Chains A and B, each alone.
Chain A
Amino acid sequence: MEYLFHILIMILIYVMLSQSLTLAAGYSGLISLAHAGFYGIGAYTSTILTVYYGFPFLFVLPIAILLTGIIAIIVSLISLRTVDDYFIIITLGIQVVAFSIMNNWMHLTNGPLGISGIPFISILGFAIKSKISFLFLTLFLAVLIYMILRNVTNSPFGRILIALSEDEIFVKSLGKNVYQAKVISFTLGGMFAAIPGVLYAHYISYIDPTSFTVDESIFILSIVIIGGMRSLWGSALAAAILVILPEALRFIGMPSNMAANMRQIIYGIALIFMMFKYRNGFMLS
Chain B
Amino acid sequence: MQILINILQTCSLYLIVAISYAIIYFVAKFFHIAHAAVITIAPYFVFLFSQQCGLSLFVALPLAILFAVLLGLITEQFVYKPLRKYNVQPFTILIASLGLYVVLQNIISMVWGDATLSIRVSEVKIGLNIFGAYITAIQIITIAVSATTFISSIIFFSYTNLGMNMRAVSSNTELANIFGISSNQIIFWAFALGSAFAAIAGILVAFDTDMRPTIGFSLFLYGVVAIIIGGIGSHWGLLFASLLLATAQHLGAYYIDSKWMDAIAYLILIIFLIFKPFGFSGQRLKKIEL
Contacts and interface: CB of A to CB of B under 8 A. Distances in A.
Contacts of A214: 217
Nearest to A278: B92
B104 to A, nearest CB: 8
A81 B95 contact: no
Contacts of A222: 99
B31 A85 contact: yes
B98 A82 contact: no
B74 to A, nearest CB: 13
B290 interface: yes
B260 A89 contact: no
Nearest to B217: A214
A218 B82 CA distance: 23
A93 B31 contact: no
A275 B95 contact: yes
Interface string A209-250: 000001100100110010000000000000000000000000
Nearest to B107: A265
A66 to B, nearest CB: 23
A94 B254 CA distance: 23
Interface string A250-285: 000000001001101101111110111011110000
Given A88-B31, A272-B79, A82 B288 contact: yes
Given A94-B266, A97-B263, A261 B96 contact: no
A19 B107 CA distance: 29
B266 A97 contact: yes
Interface in B68-111: 79, 82-83, 86, 88-96, 98-103, 105-107, 109-110
Contacts of A279: 83, 86, 88, 92
Nearest to B31: A85
A267 B102 contact: yes
A36 interface: no
A269 B288 contact: no
Candidate in A93, A274, A276 with the most chain B CB atoms within 10 angstroms: A93
Contact of A268 (B92, B103, B262, B274): B103
A271 B91 CA distance: 13
A222 B98 CA distance: 10
Candidate in A265, A270, A274, A275 with the most chain B CB atoms within 10 angstroms: A275
B109 to A, nearest CB: 6
A93 B266 contact: yes
A90 interface: yes
Given A90-B273, A218-B98, A218-B102, A82 B89 contact: no
Interface stretch (A48-56, A100-108, A134-142, A197-205): A100-108
Interface in B96-133: 96, 98-103, 105-107, 109-110
Contacts of B266: 93-94, 96-97
Contacts of A215: 102
Nearest to A276: B83
A84 B259 contact: no
B118 to A, nearest CB: 21
A258 B109 CA distance: 9
Contact of A84 (B91, B257, B260, B270): B91
B83 A275 contact: yes
A280 B87 CA distance: 8
Interface in B186-209: none
A225 B95 contact: yes
Interface string B4-24: 000000000000000000000
21 contacts: A81-B273, A82-B273, A83-B290, A84-B89, A84-B287, A85-B91, A86-B288, A88-B95, A96-B262, A101-B263, A215-B102, A218-B98, A262-B110, A264-B103, A265-B107, A268-B100, A274-B95, A275-B88, A275-B93, A279-B86, A280-B88
Interface of B: 30-31, 79, 82-83, 86, 88-96, 98-103, 105-107, 109-110, 217, 221, 224-225, 228, 257, 259-260, 262-263, 266-267, 269-270, 273-274, 277, 285, 287-290
Given A81-B273, A83-B287, A265-B107, 8 more contacts: A84-B89, A90-B273, A96-B221, A104-B259, A221-B95, A271-B98, A272-B96, A276-B83
